[in-house]
Homo-oligomer: A and B are copies of this chain.
Amino acid sequence: MRTSRAAVLAKFDEPLQLTEFPIPSALEPGAALVRVSLAGVCGTDVHLWHGQLPLSLPVILGHETVGVIEQIGPGRVTDWTGQPIAPGQRITWSSSIACGVCYYCRITKQPTRCLKRKAYGISYVCAEPPHLFGGYAEYIYLRPGTSIFVLPDSLPTEAVVGAGCALATSIHGLERLSAEWQDTVVIQGTGPVGLACLALARDRGASKIIMIGGPAHRIELAKRFGADHCIDVMQTKPADRRKIVMDLTDGFGADIALECVGIPQAVEEGLDLCRDGARYLVLGHYGDAGTIPFNPHVVTRKQLLLAGSWGFEPRHTHAGLKFLARNRQRFPFECLISKPFTLDRANDALQATAHWQIGKSAIAP
């Protein structure tokens, strides 16, 4: 029997365990077996590792993955657009599967809040066959109902994983609270989500984009992606940053600010960088990192608009791939990934992301 190695999160805050699982020989109708080419390590994986999100263990992490189809189940297996897929095709897929029927799927049309939503690399326990439900592995098993996307040759694997779930998340976020044409935009955070927001805001005709982030290698990336101004969060205090933003906005503040950090204090600071009537998107708070003091009077008086956005739908993955293919030169997301880690160094990959050591770490099994 063939086997696949996988890096398993068996206990919170402990090293991932390299484990061998049997590869299923027979697939269900509609399923696909995929050989992993490259698996992204997302900031959310760090939250999961810390147990900051509800999670049943053991789990094979990895929810942003590119691979090559090795085998498909009986009958017709199709991609998200209804086209049949076949072994040998290079694909990615939307990490989560919504039920399509529940209150949030059908009535409010917000499937990211689906009551039965399941995500690869997060919600599928790997204890039972077919086990292989995460990207930190040699093989992954895609269930029927997975939203699969065949990648065009022009789009390198590194660009797709480099953009990762951050791009689709950001597309969804800007759908909920849009950076409008000619807006002055403040983006808090220069990680993958911050950079994706930068690329998207630039592409939609933002007038001026001010990035707040770090460390230096990420600020370099932000400049390469076309940021107008970058403020190094390591070398400034909130008051410094406020002064810079006000100076760059005639003293009024940003039209829209996008929080892509995940630290509650960033929200406090960000609201203060907004002009009256501005919009503020809380996009980075996937983990529960505690509360901040919040004054409702400010929301009324400044007539602010605040929004949150959770995850993304398959159509956002679709839009992201279209965006990447169209903007290869302008936004080289492959630059986020330097040298992929091997599967047996999955822990190092996770730590590299946890400590912002590189743009984005990835695992090439």
A interface residues, Cβ below 8 angstroms from B: 78, 80-82, 99, 101-104, 106-110, 112-113, 176-177, 181-182, 203-205, 207, 250, 252, 255, 259, 264, 267, 275-277, 282-310, 315, 318-319, 322-323, 326
Contacts and interface: CB of A to CB of B under 8 A. Distances in A.
A285 B308 contact: no
Given A205-B205, A267-B296, A323-B182, A303 B103 contact: no
A252 B108 CA distance: 11
A207 B303 contact: no
Which 7 A-B pairs have CB atoms at the shortest separation, nearest pair first?
A294-B294, A299-B308, A285-B300, A291-B293, A82-B101, A300-B308, A306-B306
A305 B303 contact: no
5 contacts: A108-B255, A108-B277, A113-B303, A286-B300, A305-B305
B304 A307 contact: yes
Contacts of A102: 82
B112 A318 contact: no
A80 B181 CA distance: 21
A107 B296 contact: no
A115 to B, nearest CB: 10
Contacts of A106: 80-82, 315, 318
A47 to B, nearest CB: 10
Contacts of A267: 294, 296
Contact of A299 (B78, B296, B297, B307): B307
Given A207-B322, A287-B297, A293-B293, A110 B304 contact: no
Contacts of A250: 103
Given A81-B107, A264-B297, 15 more contacts: A103-B250, A104-B276, A109-B315, A113-B303, A204-B204, A285-B299, A288-B295, A291-B294, A293-B294, A298-B308, A299-B307, A299-B308, A300-B310, A302-B310, A304-B307
Nearest to A203: B205
Nearest to A113: B276
Contacts of A308: 296, 298-305
B319 A309 contact: no
Contacts of A207: 322, 326
A292 B296 contact: yes
A106 to B, nearest CB: 7
B108 A275 contact: yes
A176 B297 contact: no
Given A292-B294, A294-B294, A300-B284, A107 B306 contact: no
Contacts of A282: 296, 299-300
A318 B295 CA distance: 31
B107 A318 contact: yes
A285 B300 CA distance: 6
Contacts of A322: 182, 207
Contacts of A203: 181, 205
